[in-house]
Chains A and B, each alone.
Chain A
Amino acid sequence: MDQTRRVPLSEIYRTFFVIGLFSFGGGLVSWIYRDAVDVRKWMSREDFLPGVALAQVMPGVSSTNCAIYVGQILRGWMGALTAITAMLSAPFVISLGAAWAYKSLLHIPGFQETMVGVAAAAIGMLMRTGVEAARPQLRDISAMAVMIASFLAVGVFRFPLVPVICVMGPISIALAWPNAKAEGEQ
């Protein structure tokens, strides 16, 4: 992780602020990549890519996880804190503004009906993300079993999430271990 130059925190803040501001509907990790690797040349592609996997695997949203990873590489914990704060600051204010407006719009006739339609569309998009996430699991019987079991446990039987993760997580990783490969292995 040798740095050719020390990236100022203000530059980290500005970059992630803009990414956060225009973050609609996911795909943010590729935005971060574009800024960090292509445009600002903060790091090489090889330094960035492990962060993508990390952001995906760890709990939390992959985009903010990725921001933490990049911030950390650039400037340690200060960089990580700057990156995530920057990324969330605009959406935080905008969302609260919308929630405030929502309260005053509630009594307008037809507003609630409209919101159901917006929510339904958002659920449809979420479901598509689910379809994409499920596709690679279908090739492997144990991955498929884990996926279905975790869906049933939390979505149908309403078991609490934390115990489900504590049980299913280790089982799933153990099941995946025999097929896991180090990079470069066939």
Chain B
Amino acid sequence: MNADTLIRIFTIIAPLSLASFGGASSIYAPMQHEVVDIEKWITAREFLDLFAISRAMPGPGSLFCTLVGWQVAGLAGAIVASIAIYLPSSIVVYGVGHVWSRHRGKRWHNALEKGLNPLGAGLLFAGVVTLAKLASDGFLPIAIIGVVCALNVWKPKIHPVVFLIGGGALCYGTYAFA
């Protein structure tokens, strides 16, 4: 692993940090494009696996970037990727936070919320589609995506881990007994 790779990790992720409206989900599509398609650092399979790990472990979804950094360049990669994804957006939040609480309840707050929320929602679906494409070799994963989504809307109280284990068990079962 060399310094060039670390710098590249940083220059790919840091701009995405500032653009990650709506949270981690907005960066899956561009991350997939950069690290799988262009840099070819990891395979589509690994990308999907790292996503699964990041969701099965505690912590915010953007720890996914940390895992990609780890996979590409070990511990140094993980640290650089973490700084790249958290530092830029955190500085913005910190900076705006000062002004924000002083101008509580102003019209521009509401305009920002109303304007940026639909953007975040659209980007979230872009992330879902990117990941679903990677996962959909065969009927079963697509069925799991649909069923989990529906169950989750219907019974929001079910613990996420139940779904993750269920999905994994179902796919393992099909593999082992088919």
A65-B60 Cα distance, complex, nearest whole Å = 11
Please state if A59 and B121 are interface contacts (CB–CB under 8 Å): no
State which residues 2-58 of B face A: CB under 8 Å.
15-27, 29-30, 33, 45, 48-58
A-side interface residues, number (CB < 8 Å): 101
Please state if B51 and A119 are interface contacts (CB–CB under 8 Å): yes
A63-B166 Cα distance, complex, nearest whole Å = 27
A144's nearest neighbour on chain B, judged by CB, is: B118
Min CB distance, A48 to chain B, in Å? 10
Please state if B90 and A68 are interface contacts (CB–CB under 8 Å): yes
A69's nearest neighbour on chain B, judged by CB, is: B97
Which of A25, A98, A136 is B160 in contact with, Cβ under 8 Å?
Answer: A25
Min CB distance, B125 to chain A, in Å? 5
Which of B45, B51, B62, B132 is A60 in contact with, Cβ under 8 Å?
Answer: B62
Please state if B59 and A162 are interface contacts (CB–CB under 8 Å): no
Q: Does A7 contact B (CB under 8 A)?
A: no
Query: Please, what's the 1-or-0 string for A136-176, where 1 marks a CB less than 8 Å from any CB in chain B?
Result: 11001001101111111111101011101100110011111
Q: Does B63 contact A (CB under 8 A)?
A: yes
Task: List residues of chain B with CB within 8 A of the CB of A80.
Answer: 90, 94
Please state if B58 and A117 are interface contacts (CB–CB under 8 Å): no
What are 10 A-to-B residue pairs whose CB atoms are below 8 Å?
A22-B58, A64-B60, A65-B90, A102-B49, A114-B168, A117-B171, A146-B119, A154-B30, A155-B29, A176-B111
